Amino acid sequence: MQRIRLRYTKRGRLRFTSHRDFQRAFERALRRAEVPMAYSAGFTPHPKVSYANAAPTGTGSEAEYLEIGLSAPRDPATLRELLDASMPDGLDITDAVEARTSGLADRLQASVWELRLDQVEPEAARAAVAAFEAAETVEVQRRTKNGMRTFDARAAVVALEVADASVEPDDRPSARPCAILRLVVRHETPAVRPDDVLSGLRVVADLAPPVPAAVTRLAQGPFDDETGTVTDPLAPDREAVEAAPSEGAPHAAAQATTAVGPA
């Protein structure tokens, strides 16, 4: 079985699609592109698709990941193009690599988030960020299926800053204030989400945006402690492919153009 790892996005209005909605759209794309999927054993076989750390409903993302298992080898680049053409605009397949290593989920150690706070003055946001970073702990509450839970939203935050607001989209009125936060957060237990950090800013500095924040995940992957950056989780697979380019590649490339195509 060949394993392919894919990176995909949730953009625009499709940020409001649930994880189950994405699963349905992706499975339709697999059928339309005639991808030779491998299936699980048992009485109700399912296509072998593994999702890793999906973003919450309502948040956009430039860096979501999944892995599929194929019953016949295919060229990852060709497969990516065919799947992307079969997906709705906004749910875009942006990268594909053959899995030559294990532990993709374990590599997703941290995320970089952008939080756009409309009608919030950047100076007010800077003051709130400074108070958040100065605090040793910031306790927030979140409702779970087992009721309200209190936890520390500060410990998992590696970096939080107010970004340059001059890079706003052209359709955003210049007269309206907008604070843009950049957040790097480790994936720990309990998981700290961007809305938890916003709750923390409200706790330490009474920062309460009048409209919901527009949240987008910009990256997720291994965290480099020396540089404080989040790196590409698919890089080890790319390096392994480059180190052994002949292993199954010719057969996969030949199969890709003859047996995979839009329905």
Token readout for 138 is: 């910031």
Mind listing the domains of the chain with CATH numbers?
A: 1-104 (3.30.70.580), 107-222 (3.30.70)
How confident is the model at residue 144, as a pLDDT? 80
Sign of the dihedral through C-alpha 81, 85, 86, 92: positive
Please report, in angstroms and rounded to a whole number, the separation of the first and last CA atoms in the chain.
Answer: 23
Q: How far apart are CA 127 and CA 262, in angstroms?
A: 53
Q: How far apart are CA 20 and CA 72, in angstroms?
A: 27
The series of mean pLDDT values per 10 residues for the chain, 263 residues long, is 96 94 96 95 91 94 98 97 97 97 95 97 97 97 86 96 69 74 95 95 96 97 95 96 66 42 39
Q: How far apart are CA 204 and CA 137, in angstroms?
A: 10
How confident is the model at residue 41, as a pLDDT? 87
What separation in angstroms does the CA of 64 have from each of 109, 127, 220, 261? Answer: 13, 32, 8, 24
What separation in angstroms does the CA of 197 have from each of 17, 115, 168, 171, 217? Answer: 22, 10, 22, 27, 14
